[in-house]
Amino acid sequence: MGAPKLKPGSKGKNVQLLQEFLNLKGKLPNPIEESGEFTTETRDAVKLFQKNSRLQEERDGTVGPETANALAKLVGPRAASWAKTFGDADDAKSDADQKGGADADKKNATQQGAGQTQAAKPVVVAGGNLGKFKNVIHVAGGYVISIPPNPAGKFPLVVLFAGDTKKGVMIDAAAASPDYFRDAILVFGERDGNFSGFQAQLNKLLKAYQTTIGSTSVCGYSSGGQAAFANYDQADHKVGLIDPNIKSRNFKKFDSKTILSINPRKDAWPWADPDRDHYTIGDARVDAVDLVKKAGGYSEITGTAHDVYPTKFLKDFRGKLI
């Protein structure tokens, strides 16, 4: 029944979707490559998901109906057709059980079909415009607010502060990983942004769309990292620092919420520091990596070019942010 299990050696779109969904909702310690090839890394990620989900299916790192359906439930409607290719997780039930559940299955299928129709025609509150991913865009002063396509319910809030290159760069970076627009409420702001600048308008939109916030993450790119620091306490989930301009006085804010990804660039310009001559942004970045780890957060040094960092960061850490 259904397609064979995915296992080491499997290749194709279903494997790529598995990897994408694991990165999104599998609660992995680190993202895995979305190559479309079922690697050892993919098997280990599936094993971890099976263990954490307490599935009855054999926890051997292969993907059958139970694992696929459990993952799809976390991802949401767009994973439903993917999970369906594996068959029904309840196929092992007796014929009597199957017959007894037939009417309920038919009713659920009708409801799901209605839900998909509703998602295809999102409600647009006055002042909003449909976005590329059937999300709804609202402009509030210097901020852009994105509401997901089917907003009734609870969603994570992700606030993204841009650097000198302005918020359009952050919008494009999020668009490279469309799940952000489909599965989260997004607010895009500039380097000097603050929650007080958009909170009142966001609250009105939440009420109008019958949407609630499940968790709040704050990210800052480059000089927008200072806005992330300034709004650090607004986050109850994660604070993403995207190759930011880091100053030594900010270090005390690092904690288990912190995700820091940097290219040290030791040639960065100097700042005066009472304990050190010519203390540079590059120096601060290197010091910050160890301090984040000591605080219980996650940090990494990469060779990624500064201008493409937002796209890399939002793709690599979407599973942690949303």
What is the tens place of the pLDDT at every residue in 135-145? 999 998 899 99
Residue 87: pLDDT band with limits 50, 70, 90: confident
What confidence score (pLDDT) does residue 28 get?
85
Q: In the chain, how many domains are there?
A: 2
> Looking at the structure, do residues 201 and 56 belong to the same domain, yes or no?
no
Residue 179 domain-assigned? yes
> Looking at the structure, do residues 175 and 292 belong to the same domain, yes or no?
yes
Q: Which of 168-182, 193-207, 275-289 has the lowest mean pLDDT?
A: 275-289
**Continuous segment of H or E residues that includes residue 82:** helix 80-84
Domain span at 47: 13-89
What confidence score (pLDDT) does residue 307 get?
93
- List the structure tokens of 276: 């050190």
Task: Please compute the mean of the pLDDT values over residues 211-220 and round it to a whole number.
Answer: 95
- pTM, 2 dp: 0.63
What 3-state class would DSSP assign to 112? helix
Nearest CA to 293 out of 322, 265, 243, 256 is that of 256
What confidence score (pLDDT) does residue 58 get?
64
- The CATH number of whichever domain residue 221 belongs to comes to 3.40.50.1820
Residue 158 domain-assigned? yes
Residue 108 domain-assigned? no
Residue 96 has pLDDT above 80, yes or no: no
Residue 118 domain-assigned? no
> Looking at the structure, do residues 166 and 286 belong to the same domain, yes or no?
yes
Residue 82, CB half-sphere, CA atoms under 13 Å: how many?
25
Residue 271: burial class (beta carbons within 10 Å; 0-12, 13-18, 19+): middle
Instruction: Identify which has the larger pLDDT, 97 or 218.
Output: 218
- Distance, in Å, from the CA atom of 154 to the CA atom of 211, rounded to the nearest integer, reads 6
> Looking at the structure, do residues 147 and 85 belong to the same domain, yes or no?
no
What confidence score (pLDDT) does residue 38 get?
92
Residue where a domain terminates, one of 89, 106, 137: 89
Residue 168 neighbours by CB distance under 10 Å: 11
Task: Please compute the mean of the pLDDT values over residues 295-308 and round it to a whole number.
Answer: 93
Task: Please compute the mean of the pLDDT values over residues 103-125 and round it to a whole number.
Answer: 49
Contact call for residues 22 and 75 (beta carbons, < 8 A): no
Q: Which residues contact 128 (CB under 8 A, 6 or more apart)?
A: 136, 137, 138, 147
Residue 196 domain-assigned? yes
Do strands 185-189 and 153-161 pair parallel, antiparallel, or not at all (unpaired)?
Answer: parallel
Residue where a domain terminates, one of 59, 89, 119: 89
> Looking at the structure, do residues 85 and 142 belong to the same domain, yes or no?
no
What confidence score (pLDDT) does residue 277 get?
54
In the DSSP assignment, the letter for residue 211 is E
What confidence score (pLDDT) does residue 296 get?
94
> Looking at the structure, do residues 159 and 243 belong to the same domain, yes or no?
yes
Residue 216, CB half-sphere, CA atoms under 13 Å: how many?
14
Termini Cα distance of the chain: 33
Residue 68 neighbours by CB distance under 10 Å: 27
Residue where a domain terminates, one of 35, 60, 89: 89
> Looking at the structure, do residues 315 and 263 belong to the same domain, yes or no?
yes
- Distance, in Å, from the CA atom of 68 to the CA atom of 76, rounded to the nearest integer, reads 12
- DSSP E strand boundaries for the chain: 129-130, 136-140, 143-147, 153-161, 185-189, 211-221, 239-242, 258-262, 270-273, 276-280, 298-301
What is the tens place of the pLDDT at every residue in 20-73? 889 888 888 888 888 999 999 999 999 988 888 887 666 788 998 889 988 988
Give how far Cα 199 sits from Cα of 186, 205, 211, 222, Å. 12, 10, 14, 23
Residue 105 has pLDDT above 80, yes or no: no
What confidence score (pLDDT) does residue 102 get?
40
- Distance, in Å, from the CA atom of 68 to the CA atom of 55, rounded to the nearest integer, reads 11
- Any bridge partners for residue 218, and if so which? 159, 239
> Looking at the structure, do residues 155 and 282 belong to the same domain, yes or no?
yes
> Looking at the structure, do residues 159 and 248 belong to the same domain, yes or no?
yes
> Looking at the structure, do residues 73 and 222 belong to the same domain, yes or no?
no
